[in-house]
Structure formats: structure tokens, C-alpha cells
Structure 1
Amino acid sequence: MTGTEPVEGTTIRLNLTVDGQDRSAAVDSRSLLVEALRDGFGVTAPKVGCATGDCGACTSRVDGLITKTCMRLAVSAEGSQVVTTQGLAEDGELSFVQEAFWSEQAFQCGYCLPGMIFAATELLARDPDPTDDDIRWALSGNLCRCTGYEAIVAAVRTAAARQREHLQRD
């Protein structure tokens, strides 16, 4: 052995609630959560992007907190509640943020979409009427390679307006 051969980990059984469904999968004990979600659970919404936590492609909500899943070992999430962008839709209906991203064409390659969607969703939960500066600050932890951010900021504005209209009707 030269010391550069890959070391095999132990296969473990990981139990999660993913997008509202209790699930279990066999995963390598060294897997990152994004790898376990994609390879073990077959959930494709979080993506491997930069693998350094900078881009947001791997973003999901774990136990209520936005998490860059490429920065977390899967074993540390045992028993957790994981919500991916797929799980934000309710009864087959896109969330206000998802719908606004679609209507404003605020995505191209989809690379940044999970991070942007979760950041915008969290922002609007705290502040239903954010300024453009608030929106840009909330999105700053994610990298977009295609849109130049203007369509994304417009989508968050649109989502905020739709959310406020919905709340006023109820």
C-alpha cells in the first residue's frame, strides 16, 4: 500500500424524514449529507456544486435551519427532518417564492436555485416587505453564474407582493 488508496467506510442505515416522508437508506459512513440525499435517498433537488459551501446548490432545510448539505456529514443528520426545494411545494402547488422564480424566469442552469429559494423563503418569513438591499443581502450567500441577479431580486419582490396579497385576503 502506498497510503493513497481510498479508504472504504462502513455502510450505515440512515433514517431521515425527507420532504415529509420517513425514509431510510444505506449510506457510506463518510458520505456528506448531499451525497446521501442524492445517492441513498434518490432526492435530486440538492446538487453538488462547489463542494465548499459557497454556492448554495446543495442547500436544504435540516431541522428548521438552512443548511449547506455539502458541509455536513450524513451521519450527523440521523433522525433529522430534511426539507428540499421539492418539499416546499404544498399539495402540488409551488410556494410563492418558487412560483415567482418561475414567472420571473429567475433561473437558467438551476445551479443556484436551492440556495436562492431557501434564502428568499427565510427572508420573507422574517420580513414580508424587504427592500432591494435586504433582498441582495439575504441572497449574498449564494452564487449565480447565469442571471446577473436582477431577475432573482425581481422574483423575490414578486413573491413578497404575492405573499402580502394572500395574507390580506385571509
Structure 2
Amino acid sequence: MAARSEVLFLGGRAGVGKTTVGHEIHQFLSAAGVRHCLIEGDNLDQAYPPPWEHGLAERNLAAMWANYRALGYRRMIYTNTVSVRFTADLTAAMGDDPAVTAVLLTAADPTAHQRLQIRETGTGLAHHISRSDLMARDLDRNTPAWVHRIPTDGRPVTGIATEIITLTGWTTAQV
């Protein structure tokens, strides 16, 4: 019988460092020979008008995960702003009852704003800052208590990634 799947959900407001931390975890696990995949959840339903009501992200995740599973992958890092609030829907889309670790990355407004100013160089900066601020409050209020909260303010990405990898227990290759 195949080993049980495991998933790490990284959530948090825009500018908190989800993508950067996800990539750092990917680098660390790759160097350690730990088989895994990294999926940037925002790319699974990024369209206009937004297709959220159609479950497109979940449908695309189901298709991608089926392909990874067919190749023997059992561990996934999934980054998306609200993923930590919708773990049941996302794991149902995976279809194989994975063990879940969920982490809400947090950052104060000035930290997130500074990071967004570096990343968003076009006309969308004000919108991204406004949405980030609203989402930070929403995530703080509505994320389940069992989800780990890890601040990113003033911390090196390597330290954050190491802390999260310790939470997952993914420090050894999975058979």
C-alpha cells in the first residue's frame, strides 16, 4: 500500500512571503532528497471575471495532484492566501485523505506594504495594499485555531522555512 499523502498549506496576506517561503522550503527539501511538489494555488484560478464560484482551483488541483500521485509524489506544498481556511475543500479535491499541516504566515502592515512596493511596480499597488490589509484582518478572525501562526516580520526566510519544515516532519526522504 502506498504511503499516506501529506500536504503543507501556506496561507497569509499578500506581501507576507508565502511564495518566497514556499520556494525556500522547496530548496531545502530538494537538497535533502525529500520527494515533494510545490503548487502555487493562486495560479489555479487566476482569471477575470473570478471563477471562484465554479470551484476551478479545486478542479485544477485535483487534476494536478492526480498527475503527481501517478508519478509517485506523496508530499505537496500548496501556497495560497486563503488555503488555511479551506483545507477541507482542498484536501477533498486531492482525493486521498492527506495528513495536513497548515501555517498562516503573518506580517504587520508596514512590513507587508514594504514588500508589496518592491513586488508590485505597476498600477495595481494601491489595490494590492488595500486587499492585503483587508485579508490580514479576515484571516486573523476566520482561520481555525489549530492552524499554526508564524510571523515573518524581520526574520530571514531560511529561519521561517526551517521552522515550518520542523512542523511537517519532512526532514527525511519518504519511501
Structure with more contact order per residue of length (Cα contacts < 8 Å, sep ≥ 6): 2
Which one has the bigger helix percentage?
A: 2
